[in-house]
Protein backbone atom coordinates (compact mmCIF):
# COMPACT_ATOMS: atom_id res chain seq x y z
CA UNK A 1 0.00 0.00 0.00
CA UNK A 2 1.38 3.43 -0.98
CA UNK A 3 2.14 5.87 1.84
CA UNK A 4 -0.10 8.97 1.96
CA UNK A 5 1.67 12.11 0.82
CA UNK A 6 2.34 14.55 3.68
CA UNK A 7 1.66 18.21 2.95
CA UNK A 8 2.18 21.24 5.18
CA UNK A 9 0.22 24.45 4.60
CA UNK A 10 1.70 27.58 6.17
CA UNK A 11 -0.89 30.15 7.16
CA UNK A 12 -4.59 29.77 8.05
CA UNK A 13 -5.91 32.72 6.07
CA UNK A 14 -8.41 32.33 3.24
CA UNK A 15 -5.97 30.72 0.77
CA UNK A 16 -4.38 28.44 3.37
CA UNK A 17 -7.69 27.19 4.73
CA UNK A 18 -9.13 26.58 1.26
CA UNK A 19 -6.00 24.66 0.22
CA UNK A 20 -6.10 22.59 3.43
CA UNK A 21 -9.81 21.83 3.02
CA UNK A 22 -9.39 20.70 -0.59
CA UNK A 23 -6.23 18.66 0.04
CA UNK A 24 -7.35 16.75 3.14
CA UNK A 25 -9.64 14.23 1.35
CA UNK A 26 -6.60 12.95 -0.58
CA UNK A 27 -3.57 13.59 1.60
CA UNK A 28 -2.21 13.89 5.14
CA UNK A 29 -2.35 17.67 5.62
CA UNK A 30 -1.31 19.91 8.52
CA UNK A 31 -1.87 23.67 8.52
CA UNK A 32 0.42 25.79 10.70
CA UNK A 33 -0.77 29.20 11.91
CA UNK A 34 1.39 31.60 13.94
CA UNK A 35 -1.54 33.40 15.59
CA UNK A 36 -4.27 31.96 17.79
CA UNK A 37 -7.08 32.48 15.28
CA UNK A 38 -8.15 31.50 11.78
CA UNK A 39 -8.70 33.87 8.89
CA UNK A 40 -5.59 36.02 8.47
CA UNK A 41 -6.82 39.49 7.53
CA UNK A 42 -10.40 38.15 7.54
CA UNK A 43 -10.36 37.65 11.30
CA UNK A 44 -12.87 39.19 13.68
CA UNK A 45 -12.51 41.26 16.83
CA UNK A 46 -15.07 41.15 19.64
CA UNK A 47 -15.67 44.58 21.16
CA UNK A 48 -17.58 45.44 24.32
CA UNK A 49 -19.61 48.58 25.08
CA UNK A 50 -21.91 49.04 28.07
CA UNK A 51 -22.12 45.34 28.87
CA UNK A 52 -22.94 44.40 25.26
CA UNK A 53 -20.60 42.75 22.75
CA UNK A 54 -20.31 42.73 18.96
CA UNK A 55 -18.16 40.72 16.52
CA UNK A 56 -16.57 43.07 14.02
CA UNK A 57 -14.94 41.72 10.88
CA UNK A 58 -11.54 42.97 9.80
CA UNK A 59 -11.59 41.67 6.25
CA UNK A 60 -13.60 42.64 3.16
CA UNK A 61 -17.20 43.51 3.91
CA UNK A 62 -18.90 43.12 0.53
CA UNK A 63 -18.27 41.27 -2.72
CA UNK A 64 -19.73 41.40 -6.22
CA UNK A 65 -21.14 37.94 -7.10
CA UNK A 66 -19.93 37.79 -10.72
CA UNK A 67 -16.40 38.83 -9.78
CA UNK A 68 -16.20 36.67 -6.64
CA UNK A 69 -17.67 33.54 -8.21
CA UNK A 70 -15.30 31.09 -6.47
CA UNK A 71 -16.06 32.71 -3.12
CA UNK A 72 -19.82 32.44 -3.57
CA UNK A 73 -19.52 28.86 -4.82
CA UNK A 74 -17.72 27.94 -1.59
CA UNK A 75 -20.32 29.82 0.49
CA UNK A 76 -22.96 27.63 -1.18
CA UNK A 77 -21.07 24.43 -0.41
CA UNK A 78 -20.58 25.49 3.21
CA UNK A 79 -24.23 26.60 3.45
CA UNK A 80 -23.19 30.04 4.65
CA UNK A 81 -25.84 32.65 3.75
CA UNK A 82 -25.16 36.02 2.16
CA UNK A 83 -27.35 39.10 1.77
CA UNK A 84 -27.60 42.12 -0.47
CA UNK A 85 -25.74 45.10 0.94
CA UNK A 86 -26.35 48.83 0.48
CA UNK A 87 -23.33 50.67 -0.90
CA UNK A 88 -22.61 54.36 -0.60
CA UNK A 89 -19.40 56.37 -0.43
CA UNK A 90 -18.73 59.88 0.85
CA UNK A 91 -15.51 61.81 0.28
CA UNK A 92 -15.06 64.53 2.88
CA UNK A 93 -12.32 66.92 3.91
CA UNK A 94 -10.62 66.65 7.29
CA UNK A 95 -13.29 68.91 8.79
CA UNK A 96 -16.14 66.63 7.72
CA UNK A 97 -17.33 68.77 4.80
CA UNK A 98 -18.52 66.66 1.85
CA UNK A 99 -16.76 66.89 -1.51
CA UNK A 100 -18.58 63.94 -3.06
CA UNK A 101 -21.41 61.59 -2.11
CA UNK A 102 -22.27 58.68 -4.36
CA UNK A 103 -25.93 57.76 -4.99
CA UNK A 104 -27.15 55.03 -2.67
CA UNK A 105 -26.81 51.62 -4.30
CA UNK A 106 -29.45 50.02 -2.12
CA UNK A 107 -30.36 46.56 -3.46
CA UNK A 108 -34.00 47.50 -4.03
CA UNK A 109 -33.77 51.11 -5.10
CA UNK A 110 -31.44 53.78 -6.41
CA UNK A 111 -31.52 56.57 -3.90
CA UNK A 112 -31.97 60.16 -4.93
CA UNK A 113 -28.84 62.05 -5.88
CA UNK A 114 -27.47 64.13 -3.03
CA UNK A 115 -27.50 67.83 -3.73
CA UNK A 116 -23.91 67.86 -2.47
CA UNK A 117 -22.78 65.88 -5.51
CA UNK A 118 -23.20 67.28 -8.99
CA UNK A 119 -24.12 65.17 -11.98
CA UNK A 120 -20.81 66.31 -13.48
CA UNK A 121 -18.85 64.69 -10.65
CA UNK A 122 -20.60 61.39 -11.26
CA UNK A 123 -19.84 61.74 -14.97
CA UNK A 124 -16.15 62.39 -14.20
CA UNK A 125 -15.95 59.35 -11.92
CA UNK A 126 -17.61 57.15 -14.49
CA UNK A 127 -15.15 58.38 -17.12
CA UNK A 128 -12.27 57.21 -14.88
CA UNK A 129 -13.93 53.84 -14.30
CA UNK A 130 -14.59 53.29 -18.01
CA UNK A 131 -10.96 54.04 -18.86
CA UNK A 132 -9.89 51.71 -16.04
CA UNK A 133 -11.80 48.88 -17.73
CA UNK A 134 -9.96 49.65 -20.98
CA UNK A 135 -6.65 49.22 -19.15
CA UNK A 136 -7.92 45.92 -17.78
CA UNK A 137 -8.91 44.69 -21.25
CA UNK A 138 -5.36 45.39 -22.44
CA UNK A 139 -3.85 43.91 -19.26
CA UNK A 140 -1.93 47.17 -18.94
CA UNK A 141 -0.46 47.06 -15.45
CA UNK A 142 2.53 49.32 -16.13
CA UNK A 143 0.71 52.66 -16.52
CA UNK A 144 0.81 54.51 -13.22
CA UNK A 145 -2.04 56.52 -11.73
CA UNK A 146 0.15 59.63 -12.17
CA UNK A 147 0.42 59.02 -15.95
CA UNK A 148 -3.17 57.82 -16.34
CA UNK A 149 -5.00 60.82 -14.86
CA UNK A 150 -3.71 63.59 -17.22
CA UNK A 151 -4.79 61.47 -20.19
CA UNK A 152 -8.43 61.83 -19.05
CA UNK A 153 -8.37 65.64 -19.15
CA UNK A 154 -10.70 66.04 -16.16
CA UNK A 155 -11.03 69.12 -13.92
CA UNK A 156 -8.12 69.45 -11.50
CA UNK A 157 -10.44 70.20 -8.59
CA UNK A 158 -12.22 66.85 -9.07
CA UNK A 159 -8.92 64.98 -9.42
CA UNK A 160 -7.47 66.45 -6.23
CA UNK A 161 -10.58 66.59 -4.04
CA UNK A 162 -12.26 63.32 -5.11
CA UNK A 163 -10.23 60.96 -7.33
CA UNK A 164 -6.91 61.04 -5.47
CA UNK A 165 -8.53 60.79 -2.02
CA UNK A 166 -10.52 57.70 -3.13
CA UNK A 167 -7.39 55.89 -4.34
CA UNK A 168 -5.35 57.00 -1.34
CA UNK A 169 -8.07 55.89 1.08
CA UNK A 170 -8.73 52.54 -0.58
CA UNK A 171 -5.06 51.53 -0.42
CA UNK A 172 -3.94 53.29 2.76
CA UNK A 173 -1.31 55.33 0.90
CA UNK A 174 -0.27 58.98 0.90
CA UNK A 175 -0.95 60.88 -2.31
CA UNK A 176 2.65 60.69 -3.49
CA UNK A 177 2.79 56.89 -3.20
CA UNK A 178 -0.74 56.55 -4.60
CA UNK A 179 0.35 58.38 -7.74
CA UNK A 180 2.89 55.61 -8.45
CA UNK A 181 0.57 52.59 -8.16
CA UNK A 182 -0.71 50.75 -11.20
CA UNK A 183 -3.76 52.56 -12.61
CA UNK A 184 -5.10 49.12 -13.51
CA UNK A 185 -5.40 48.35 -9.80
CA UNK A 186 -6.39 51.78 -8.53
CA UNK A 187 -10.14 51.69 -9.12
CA UNK A 188 -10.76 48.36 -10.84
CA UNK A 189 -13.03 47.15 -8.03
CA UNK A 190 -15.27 50.19 -8.49
CA UNK A 191 -15.12 49.83 -12.29
CA UNK A 192 -16.32 46.24 -12.12
CA UNK A 193 -19.43 47.46 -10.31
CA UNK A 194 -20.56 49.40 -13.37
CA UNK A 195 -23.62 47.90 -15.10
CA UNK A 196 -22.88 46.49 -18.57
CA UNK A 197 -24.96 44.90 -21.33
CA UNK A 198 -23.27 41.53 -20.78
CA UNK A 199 -23.34 41.52 -16.98
CA UNK A 200 -26.36 43.67 -16.22
CA UNK A 201 -26.58 45.34 -12.80
CA UNK A 202 -24.67 43.69 -9.97
CA UNK A 203 -25.67 44.15 -6.36
CA UNK A 204 -23.03 43.75 -3.71
CA UNK A 205 -23.49 40.98 -1.18
CA UNK A 206 -21.98 40.35 2.23
CA UNK A 207 -21.82 37.29 4.47
CA UNK A 208 -24.62 37.31 7.02
CA UNK A 209 -22.99 37.99 10.38
CA UNK A 210 -19.66 39.04 8.84
CA UNK A 211 -17.01 37.67 6.49
CA UNK A 212 -15.40 35.71 9.31
CA UNK A 213 -18.50 33.44 9.38
CA UNK A 214 -17.36 31.55 6.29
CA UNK A 215 -13.89 31.16 7.80
CA UNK A 216 -15.43 29.62 10.92
CA UNK A 217 -17.65 27.33 8.83
CA UNK A 218 -14.65 26.15 6.83
CA UNK A 219 -12.67 25.55 10.02
CA UNK A 220 -15.48 23.33 11.27
CA UNK A 221 -15.11 21.16 8.14
CA UNK A 222 -11.45 20.39 8.85
CA UNK A 223 -10.43 17.29 10.77
CA UNK A 224 -9.58 17.78 14.43
CA UNK A 225 -5.89 18.58 14.77
CA UNK A 226 -5.46 19.61 11.14
CA UNK A 227 -4.76 23.25 12.05
CA UNK A 228 -2.02 23.96 14.58
CA UNK A 229 -2.66 27.42 16.08
CA UNK A 230 0.00 29.41 17.96
CA UNK A 231 2.58 27.43 16.01
CA UNK A 232 4.84 29.76 14.01
CA UNK A 233 7.12 28.20 11.43
CA UNK A 234 10.75 29.18 11.93
CA UNK A 235 12.48 27.44 9.02
CA UNK A 236 11.69 25.64 5.78
CA UNK A 237 14.50 24.03 3.82
CA UNK A 238 14.35 21.81 0.72
CA UNK A 239 16.14 18.49 1.14
CA UNK A 240 17.91 16.36 -1.47
CA UNK A 241 15.42 13.95 -2.97
CA UNK A 242 12.49 16.37 -3.01
CA UNK A 243 11.27 16.42 0.59
CA UNK A 244 11.17 19.48 2.83
CA UNK A 245 12.24 19.93 6.44
CA UNK A 246 9.97 22.19 8.45
CA UNK A 247 10.87 23.59 11.86
CA UNK A 248 8.14 25.09 14.00
CA UNK A 249 7.37 26.07 17.57
CA UNK A 250 6.68 22.47 18.59
CA UNK A 251 9.50 20.67 16.82
CA UNK A 252 10.71 19.51 13.43
CA UNK A 253 8.96 17.48 10.72
CA UNK A 254 9.59 16.18 7.21
CA UNK A 255 6.97 16.80 4.50
CA UNK A 256 6.65 15.82 0.86
CA UNK A 257 5.39 19.28 -0.08
CA UNK A 258 4.87 22.64 1.61
CA UNK A 259 2.31 25.26 0.51
CA UNK A 260 3.27 28.74 1.75
CA UNK A 261 0.31 31.13 1.94
CA UNK A 262 1.70 33.74 4.35
CA UNK A 263 2.59 37.18 3.05
CA UNK A 264 5.86 37.26 1.04
CA UNK A 265 7.76 39.44 3.50
CA UNK A 266 6.93 37.00 6.28
CA UNK A 267 7.79 33.93 4.19
CA UNK A 268 11.19 35.46 3.33
CA UNK A 269 12.12 35.24 7.02
CA UNK A 270 11.79 31.46 7.33
CA UNK A 271 12.51 29.95 3.89
CA UNK A 272 16.09 28.73 3.64
CA UNK A 273 16.67 29.18 -0.08
CA UNK A 274 18.40 32.26 -1.49
CA UNK A 275 16.66 32.29 -4.88
CA UNK A 276 13.21 32.03 -3.33
CA UNK A 277 13.99 34.71 -0.74
CA UNK A 278 15.19 37.12 -3.44
CA UNK A 279 11.89 36.65 -5.29
CA UNK A 280 9.84 37.19 -2.13
CA UNK A 281 11.72 40.39 -1.29
CA UNK A 282 10.57 42.03 -4.52
CA UNK A 283 7.08 42.65 -3.17
CA UNK A 284 6.67 46.23 -1.82
CA UNK A 285 4.70 46.67 1.40
CA UNK A 286 3.86 49.23 4.06
CA UNK A 287 2.74 48.89 7.69
CA UNK A 288 -0.90 49.57 8.54
CA UNK A 289 -3.42 49.22 11.32
CA UNK A 290 -7.17 48.77 11.39
CA UNK A 291 -8.83 50.30 14.43
CA UNK A 292 -12.38 49.70 15.65
CA UNK A 293 -13.72 52.73 17.45
CA UNK A 294 -16.88 54.67 18.42
CA UNK A 295 -17.71 58.01 16.79
CA UNK A 296 -16.47 59.09 13.34
CA UNK A 297 -12.92 60.36 12.92
CA UNK A 298 -14.36 63.87 12.60
CA UNK A 299 -17.94 65.11 13.10
CA UNK A 300 -20.07 64.44 10.00
CA UNK A 301 -23.51 65.89 9.24
CA UNK A 302 -26.27 63.32 8.75
CA UNK A 303 -26.74 64.25 5.08
CA UNK A 304 -23.02 63.62 4.40
CA UNK A 305 -22.78 60.34 6.34
CA UNK A 306 -22.28 57.10 4.38
CA UNK A 307 -21.43 53.50 5.34
CA UNK A 308 -18.04 54.16 3.74
CA UNK A 309 -16.34 57.53 4.24
CA UNK A 310 -13.01 58.80 3.02
CA UNK A 311 -11.52 61.77 4.86
CA UNK A 312 -9.13 63.74 2.65
CA UNK A 313 -6.17 65.41 4.32
CA UNK A 314 -3.36 67.48 2.86
CA UNK A 315 -0.97 64.57 2.25
CA UNK A 316 -3.16 61.46 2.44
CA UNK A 317 -6.73 60.31 2.97
CA UNK A 318 -8.25 57.79 5.35
CA UNK A 319 -10.96 55.18 4.84
CA UNK A 320 -13.48 54.65 7.63
CA UNK A 321 -16.43 52.25 7.32
CA UNK A 322 -19.49 51.61 9.43
CA UNK A 323 -18.93 48.47 11.52
CA UNK A 324 -22.27 48.15 13.33
CA UNK A 325 -24.02 49.57 16.35
CA UNK A 326 -23.51 48.65 19.98
CA UNK A 327 -24.94 50.15 23.15
CA UNK A 328 -26.69 52.84 21.12
CA UNK A 329 -23.44 53.90 19.46
CA UNK A 330 -22.24 53.58 15.89
CA UNK A 331 -18.90 51.80 15.58
CA UNK A 332 -16.37 52.38 12.81
CA UNK A 333 -13.50 50.46 11.29
CA UNK A 334 -10.71 52.79 10.11
CA UNK A 335 -7.34 52.36 8.43
CA UNK A 336 -4.47 54.00 10.29
CA UNK A 337 -1.37 54.63 8.23
CA UNK A 338 1.41 57.21 8.26
CA UNK A 339 -0.02 60.72 8.41
CA UNK A 340 -3.63 59.75 9.19
CA UNK A 341 -5.74 60.38 12.29
CA UNK A 342 -5.72 58.02 15.26
CA UNK A 343 -9.17 57.67 16.85
CA UNK A 344 -9.49 59.02 20.39
CA UNK A 345 -10.92 55.75 21.72
CA UNK A 346 -9.89 52.41 20.20
CA UNK A 347 -11.89 49.34 21.21
CA UNK A 348 -9.83 46.83 19.21
CA UNK A 349 -7.21 46.89 16.50
CA UNK A 350 -5.24 44.76 14.05
CA UNK A 351 -1.72 45.56 12.80
CA UNK A 352 -0.33 44.16 9.57
CA UNK A 353 1.64 44.95 6.42
CA UNK A 354 -0.16 45.37 3.12
CA UNK A 355 0.93 45.03 -0.47
CA UNK A 356 1.49 48.25 -2.41
CA UNK A 357 0.24 47.64 -5.99
CA UNK A 358 3.12 49.28 -7.84
CA UNK A 359 3.82 48.19 -11.43
CA UNK A 360 6.85 46.18 -10.24
CA UNK A 361 4.50 43.78 -8.43
CA UNK A 362 3.83 42.20 -11.84
CA UNK A 363 7.53 41.33 -12.17
CA UNK A 364 7.57 40.04 -8.58
CA UNK A 365 4.57 37.78 -9.31
CA UNK A 366 6.28 36.43 -12.43
CA UNK A 367 9.36 35.64 -10.34
CA UNK A 368 7.26 33.67 -7.87
CA UNK A 369 5.48 31.80 -10.66
CA UNK A 370 8.82 30.86 -12.23
CA UNK A 371 10.08 29.21 -9.03
CA UNK A 372 6.76 27.87 -7.79
CA UNK A 373 7.20 24.23 -6.65
CA UNK A 374 10.99 24.60 -6.55
CA UNK A 375 12.26 22.26 -3.84
CA UNK A 376 8.65 21.09 -3.33
CA UNK A 377 7.75 24.56 -1.96
CA UNK A 378 4.56 25.97 -3.46
CA UNK A 379 3.02 29.43 -3.07
CA UNK A 380 -0.57 30.58 -2.74
CA UNK A 381 -2.18 33.77 -1.52
CA UNK A 382 -3.81 36.90 -2.86
CA UNK A 383 -0.39 38.41 -3.53
CA UNK A 384 0.75 35.65 -5.90
CA UNK A 385 -1.22 36.79 -8.94
CA UNK A 386 -3.13 39.77 -10.28
CA UNK A 387 -5.11 41.88 -7.79
CA UNK A 388 -4.68 41.43 -4.06
CA UNK A 389 -8.26 40.38 -3.20
CA UNK A 390 -10.25 37.85 -1.19
CA UNK A 391 -11.27 36.13 -4.42
CA UNK A 392 -7.67 35.92 -5.61
CA UNK A 393 -6.69 34.34 -2.28
CA UNK A 394 -9.42 31.71 -2.61
CA UNK A 395 -8.58 30.94 -6.23
CA UNK A 396 -4.91 30.53 -5.36
CA UNK A 397 -5.84 28.01 -2.65
CA UNK A 398 -7.91 26.07 -5.19
CA UNK A 399 -5.03 26.23 -7.66
CA UNK A 400 -2.54 24.91 -5.11
CA UNK A 401 -4.76 21.91 -4.34
CA UNK A 402 -5.16 21.10 -8.04
CA UNK A 403 -1.42 21.50 -8.69
CA UNK A 404 -0.69 18.92 -5.99
CA UNK A 405 -3.01 16.44 -7.65
CA UNK A 406 -6.05 16.68 -5.37
CA UNK A 407 -9.08 15.05 -6.97
CA UNK A 408 -12.22 14.85 -4.89
CA UNK A 409 -15.91 15.70 -4.67
CA UNK A 410 -15.26 19.16 -3.23
CA UNK A 411 -13.17 20.18 -6.22
CA UNK A 412 -15.83 18.76 -8.52
CA UNK A 413 -18.49 20.90 -6.82
CA UNK A 414 -16.37 24.04 -7.12
CA UNK A 415 -15.60 23.35 -10.77
CA UNK A 416 -13.97 26.16 -12.73
CA UNK A 417 -15.71 29.41 -11.68
CA UNK A 418 -15.62 32.17 -14.25
CA UNK A 419 -14.04 35.52 -13.47
CA UNK A 420 -13.41 38.90 -14.98
CA UNK A 421 -10.29 41.06 -14.83
CA UNK A 422 -8.33 41.29 -11.65
CA UNK A 423 -8.80 37.80 -10.21
CA UNK A 424 -6.17 35.80 -12.04
CA UNK A 425 -8.40 34.89 -15.01
CA UNK A 426 -8.33 36.94 -18.17
CA UNK A 427 -11.74 37.65 -19.62
CA UNK A 428 -12.26 36.39 -23.17
Domain boundaries, the chain: 6-36+229-283+359-414, 49-207+285-355
Q: Does position 114 have pLDDT exceeding 60, yes or no?
A: no
Banded model confidence at residue 427, pLDDT cuts 50, 70, 90: very low
Q: Does position 283 have pLDDT exceeding 80, yes or no?
A: yes
To the nearest whole number, what is the mean pLDDT of the chain? Answer: 90
Q: Does position 201 have pLDDT exceeding 90, yes or no?
A: no
What count of other Cβ atoms lies within 10 Å of the Cβ of residue 83? 12
Question: pLDDT tens digits for 166-181?
Answer: 999 999 999 999 999 9
Banded model confidence at residue 422, pLDDT cuts 50, 70, 90: low
% of the chain beyond a pLDDT of 70: 93
Average pLDDT over residues 196-221: 87
Q: Does position 190 have pLDDT exceeding 90, yes or no?
A: no
Query: How confident is the model at residue 107, as a pLDDT?
Result: 36
Query: How confident is the model at residue 426, as a pLDDT?
Result: 39
Banded model confidence at residue 70, pLDDT cuts 50, 70, 90: very high
Banded model confidence at residue 119, pLDDT cuts 50, 70, 90: confident
Question: pLDDT tens digits for 246-258?
Answer: 999 999 999 999 9
What count of other Cβ atoms lies within 10 Å of the Cβ of residue 130? 12
Furthest-apart CA atoms within the chain: distance in Å: 73
Question: pLDDT tens digits for 295-314?
Answer: 889 999 988 899 999 999 99
Q: Could you give the CA distance from residue 17 to residue 389 in angstroms, rounded to a whole number?
A: 15
Q: Could you give the CA distance from residue 312 to residue 417 in angstroms, rounded to a whole number?
A: 38
Rounded to the nearest 10 degrees, the angle between the axes of helix 390-403 and helix 14-23 is: 30
Q: Could you give the CA distance from residue 310 to residue 61 in angstroms, rounded to a whole number?
A: 16
Q: How many residues does the chain have?
A: 428
CATH number corresponding to 6-36+229-283+359-414: 3.50.50.60
Average pLDDT over residues 403-413: 95
Contact 32, 8 (CB under 8 A): yes
% of the chain beyond a pLDDT of 90: 74
Query: How confident is the model at residue 1, as a pLDDT?
Result: 32
Contact 116, 97 (CB under 8 A): no
Q: Does position 117 have pLDDT exceeding 70, yes or no?
A: no
Average pLDDT over residues 95-124: 67
Which of 109-123, 220-234, 413-427 is predicted least confidently? 109-123
Q: Could you give the CA distance from residue 185 to residue 388 in angstroms, rounded to a whole number?
A: 9
| Torsion on CA atoms 165, 170, 174, 175, rounded to nearest 10 | -40
Beta bridge partners of 132: none
Amino acid sequence: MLATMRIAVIGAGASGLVATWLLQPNYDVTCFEASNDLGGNAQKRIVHVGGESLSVQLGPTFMMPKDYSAFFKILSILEVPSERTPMQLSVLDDQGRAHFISPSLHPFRLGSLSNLTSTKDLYYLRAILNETLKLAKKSDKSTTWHDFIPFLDLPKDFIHSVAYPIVSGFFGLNYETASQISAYCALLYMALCLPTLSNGVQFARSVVGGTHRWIEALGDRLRVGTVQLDCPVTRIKPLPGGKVILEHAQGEEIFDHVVVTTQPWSAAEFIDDEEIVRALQKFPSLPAEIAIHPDPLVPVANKAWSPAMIFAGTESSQLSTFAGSLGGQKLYRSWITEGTKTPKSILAHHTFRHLVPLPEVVDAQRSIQSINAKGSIHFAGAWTHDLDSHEAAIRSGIGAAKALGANNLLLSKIGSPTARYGFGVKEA
